[in-house]
Chains A and B, each alone.
Chain A
Amino acid sequence: MSYDLGKITETLIQGKVDRLTELTQEAIDSNAEPAKILNEGLLPGMDNVGEKWKNGEMFMPEVLRCAKAMSKSMDILRPRLTEGELGSAGTLVIGTVAGDLHDIGKDLVGMMFEGAGYKVINIGIDQPNENFVNAAIEHKPDVLGMSALLTTTMPRMGEVVNSLKEAGIRDQITVMVGGAPVTEEYAQEIGADLYGANASTAVDVTREYFAKAKN
């Protein structure tokens, strides 16, 4: 058996979910190093997709198909990668705050993170504050994302930030917030680390943040 990392890149860009899973499995069966599959097969593909998306050559349905393919492929690779090899591809826990039923915005953010190689745990809508804290304790995510689409539910996000402090885990987690009535200014006010105006900037902002933190 042999493997072709260029084929993996190409298949990812084409958004062929099942085919990419097959190729990933084949590569592993052919003893390819998992880190190599990630770094030389998948990541160049997602970089290309990201570029095309920014240049207006690719649109949401195409990009999210690629993200889905990436995510399925990562499901196979992740258990085989060491912490260091995972690099920037961490874990995101995301949900919509209590009293708020707006769904799709945070789903899109989650999918974009999957495209960036993240493991995404979507805890759903209308989540009480303690569920965010518990999910943070349980999954130890790199990023905790909260979505609020209502003026009336925005305050829940600040409350969660405080609860994270009380639980003594605030420093271990990067808190990111977003949603239509949420602004950069508001994010700062409530002590969140990051604000994402939309799904794709959310990924960029996070990348920059971690890149800075490293230096």
Chain B
Amino acid sequence: MKINQTVNNSTQFKVLSENQIEEIFYSALEVLERTGGVIYHEEALELFKNSHAIVEGNRVRIPTTMVEEALNFYPRKITLKGRNGKRSLHLQKDTVAFGTGSDLPFTYDRKSGERRRTSYNDVTNAAKLVDALDNYDFFMSHGIVGDAPNPQTYDRHQFMAMLENCTKPMVLTSVDGEGLEDLWKMGCMIQGGEDEFRLNPSFVAYIEPISPLKNDRTAVEKLLFAAEKKIPAMYTPCPSSGATAPATIAGMLVQSLAETLLATVMCHLKNPGMPLIMGGVTTVLDMKQSSYSYGAPELSLASAANTDISKWLNLLMFSTGGCSDSKILDEQAAAEQMMNLFYSYLSGANLIHDVGYIDHGTNASLESLVLNQEMMGMVKQFGKGINTDDEHLALDLIEKQGPGGEYVTTDHTFEHWKEWFLPKLQDRSDYETWVKNGSKTMGDRVKERTQHLLDNYKPEPLEEGLKKELWKVVEDADKRHA
């Protein structure tokens, strides 16, 4: 027996020290007391007026005590259950899930090679791939249903497109409070009622403040509705360092934490104990192209730091990875996606979204989803760390095979090589074999795999009765908005 041992069951990664996190936290509290935020929503302002906060016009300043109180009420665990009936997604500290992003206006058409607008059909195809590929744990729509009959109800159509081919838990964007209400009703139908949905939510609602420190009517409307019904939701700031946040990462983290903390208080005033998740797409504005960068190393660094903060606050975290600024799926895309996948995974964020994004969040690519499946596998392998028990130290084996011996045929190898990552798309062949097999690039292999999955994968269909009921909600919404 040994004592005083520490074993790393996984790799360890942290950007900020505890003291640095405290600095950022105190600073965010200072922002809320000194600067505050603006809110464009009557009920929310009323809630703050009836509290110890100071409300002047739309400006709200919040004392630290209110923040500290609110922070005590958020769950450290949320479990999601997709329509496949599996409670597959346990959001809890250092448990990581990967998923796509949403709403991409354009799609990279695989046949023509051209960029065109995204449609319902593109979303069903993305749904199919996400269902088929096991490294994806949750689904956001990837593309936007741009051909919905009415932009005011596109969110319900999008949910249907997603449900058609994907059985996994989801993260949903919505048009407004009414949209979210419909999505929630649909979620309740799938799970078997409001109470079941509360215990087994099938989706998380995606909501955003407007950096810097602004909360618009629609976002607050959604947030308060989520609080009322206890729908899991993230309120995820999307600051661009140097434009809508300070150009320093620390300053950006302070500001976005202040935005998050304001939301924790607002939800707490509405209905204590809502499953709120912290978020953030924290990146820089490219100062040459004036674009919001999804491939900058600063995105990886700031996101990982943000996750450190979330863990210290005991909040669950929605983060970003697997995304790129590159216009097409090329070397740049692979490099950037790999980098932000890797660090978001190591940071231990709970929901990592935007996997597969190219063209800084404007272009959808099914092939990108397939490439990322492979890269997520590599990243997860690294995260496993190194087992150092007797079996893995293999002393007896080293002694047995001795100097000059071989390991290929041993029982030990037969047993343990299966712990390795098994590439499906990476090519590790010798040159002659590669030529014989058609000299295919990674891009070629990704294309073939994508087509194969689209042609052959059959997701569990949505039950017909339920499908009808769900469409009814969508049609009612369309009638209301006709």
Instruction: Provide the bound-state CA to CA distance between A105 and B289, in Å.
Output: 11
Report whether A151 and B290 are in contact in the complex, using a CB–CB cutoff of 8 Å: no
CB of B175 closer than 8 Å to a CB of A: yes
Greatest chain B CB density within 10 A among A56, A104, A108 is at A104
Q: Are A199 and B290 touching (Cβ within 8 A)?
A: yes
Whether A180 and B362, one on each chain, are in contact in the complex, defined by CB atoms closer than 8 angstroms, is yes
Report Cα–Cα, A6/B290, bound state, in Å: 30
Instruction: Check: B383 CB closer than 8 A to any chain A CB.
Output: no
The answer for the CA separation of A19 and B86 in the assembled complex, in Å, is: 66
Q: How far is the CA of A50 from the CA of B245 in the complex (A)?
A: 26
Contact A103–B244 (Cβ < 8 Å): yes
A152-B117 Cα distance, complex, nearest whole Å: 12
Contacts of A105 in B (CB 8 A): 290
Residue pair A152, B287 in contact (C-beta under 8 Å): no
Number of interface residues of B (CB under 8 A): 23
- Bound-state CA distance A11–B182 (Å) is 58
Residues on A with C-beta less than 8 A from B242 are 60-61
Q: Please tell me if the beta carbons of A198 and B290 are within 8 angstroms of each other in the complex.
A: yes
Contact residues in B for A101 (Cβ distance below 8 Å): 210, 216
Whose C-beta in chain B lies nearest to the C-beta of A149? B105
Smallest beta-carbon distance A198→chain B, Å? 6
* Contact yes or no, B287 A181, CB < 8 A: no
A159-189 at interface with B (beta carbon < 8 Å): 180-181
Q: How far is the CA of A105 from the CA of B106 in the complex (A)?
A: 19
Do B244 and A104 touch (CB < 8 A)? Answer: yes
Contacts of B243 in A (CB 8 A): 104, 108
**B residues within 8 A CB of A126?**
216
Residue of B244, B288, B291 ringed by the most chain A CB atoms within 10 A: B288
Say yes or no: is A191 at the interface (Cβ < 8 Å to chain B): no
Neighbouring A residues of B193 by C-beta, 8 Å: none
Query: Is A155 part of the contact surface with B, judged by Cβ < 8 Å?
Result: yes
Interface residues in B264-306 (C-beta closer than 8 Å to A): 285, 287-291
Give every chain B residue within 8 A of A61 (Cβ-Cβ): 242, 247, 287
A residues in contact with B289, CB < 8 Å? 198
Output the nearest chain B residue to A126 by Cβ-Cβ distance.
B216
- A210 sits at the interface (CB 8 A): no
Q: In whole angstroms, how far apart are the Cα atoms of A181 and B103 in the complex?
A: 11
**Which residues of B (86-123) have their CB < 8 Å from a CB of A?**
105-106, 117
Partner of B288, one of A60, A104, A151, A153: A60
* A61 vs B287: C-alpha distance when bound (angstroms): 7
Q: Please name the residue on chain A nearest to B288 by beta carbon.
A: A59
Q: Return A159 CB to nearest CB of chain B, in Å.
A: 13
| Contact A104-B175, Cβ < 8 Å, known A151-B151, A155-B151, A181-B106 | no
**Does the CB pair B287–A60 fall under 8 Å?**
yes
CA distance A119 to B287 in the complex (A): 24
Q: Which of B106, B152, B288 contacts A56 (CB 8 A)?
A: B288
Interface positions of A from 74 to 104, Cβ below 8 Å from B = 101, 103-104
Determine whether the beta carbon of B244 is less than 8 Å from that of A181: no
Chain A's closest residue to B151 (CB) is: A152
What mask results when residues 237 to 275 of chain B are scored 1 for a CB within 8 Å of chain A, else 0? 000101110010000000000000000000000000000
| Residues of A contacting B144 in the complex (Cβ-Cβ under 8 angstroms) | 151
Q: Is B187 an interface residue (CB 8 A)?
A: no
Pick from B117, B210, B216, B290: contact of A60, CB under 8 Å: B290
List of 6 A-B pairs having minimum Cβ-Cβ separation, nearest first? A152-B151, A181-B105, A60-B287, A59-B287, A151-B105, A104-B243
| Extra pairs beyond A104-B243, A108-B290, A151-B151 (16, CB < 8 Å) | A56-B288, A60-B288, A61-B247, A61-B287, A101-B216, A104-B244, A104-B285, A105-B290, A126-B216, A151-B117, A152-B151, A155-B151, A180-B105, A181-B105, A181-B362, A198-B291
Q: Can you list 25 contacts pairing A with B, beta carbon distance less than 8 Å?
A: A56-B288, A59-B287, A59-B288, A60-B242, A60-B285, A60-B288, A60-B290, A61-B242, A61-B247, A61-B287, A101-B210, A101-B216, A103-B210, A103-B244, A104-B240, A104-B243, A104-B285, A151-B117, A151-B146, A152-B151, A152-B175, A153-B151, A198-B289, A198-B291, A200-B290
B residues apposed to A, CB below 8 Å: 105-106, 117, 144, 146, 151-152, 154, 175, 210, 216, 240, 242-244, 247, 285, 287-291, 362
Chain A residues with CB under 8 Å of chain B are 56, 59-61, 101, 103-105, 108, 126, 151-153, 155, 180-181, 198-200
